[in-house]
């Protein structure tokens, strides 16, 4: 949540064009500290994203799609904050310095996306 942005995009399907919401991050190929656990050659050609391998929108890497997306109402946010997992751990996780993260693929993503 902290590093990805939501972007409205249009994609072409057999039935015609559809508007979708994509999760995007800035181009990670330019990073001097690109995460070692990620195969940079899959994502990148030099400092550019490889559009033969990954989906790109306006120079940003698409990392996910949101289905049936909607804006959160205050009641939705209250449910998230009250959840046993997200309510307790999201603020803690979002404040953890990058060099102290030790949680697997989530940490790799953060290092790729920040």
94 token code pair: 């979002």
Asked if 38 and 86 count as a contact pair (C-beta separation under 8 A), the reply is no
Q: How many domains does the chain have?
A: 1
Write down the pLDDT at residue 103. Answer: 65
Mean pLDDT (10-residue bins), the chain, 114 residues: 86 92 93 85 92 93 88 87 79 75 71 77
Q: Tell me the whole-structure pTM to 2 decimals.
A: 0.76
Domain that holds residue 70: 5-113
Cα 83–Cα 108–Cα 113 angle in degrees, nearest 5:
85
Backbone phi, psi, residue 17, to 5° = -75, 145
pLDDT given at position 1: 65
pLDDT of residue 28: 92
Check residue 53 and give its pLDDT. 93
CA neighbours closer than 13 Å in the CB half-sphere of residue 7: 18
């Amino acid at each position: 949540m902290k590093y990805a942005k939501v972007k409205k995009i249009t994609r072409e399907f057999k039935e015609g064009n559809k508007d979708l919401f994509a999760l995007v991050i800035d181009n990670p190929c330019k990073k001097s500290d690109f995460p070692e656990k990620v195969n940079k050659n899959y994502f990148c050609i030099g400092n550019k994203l490889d559009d033969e391998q990954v989906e790109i929108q306006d120079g940003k890497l698409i990392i996910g799609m949101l289905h049936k997306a909607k804006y959160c109402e205050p009641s939705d946010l209250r449910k998230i904050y009250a959840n046993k997992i997200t309510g307790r751990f999201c603020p803690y996780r979002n404040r953890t310095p990058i060099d102290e993260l030790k949680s697997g693929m989530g940490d790799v993503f953060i290092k790729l996306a920040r």
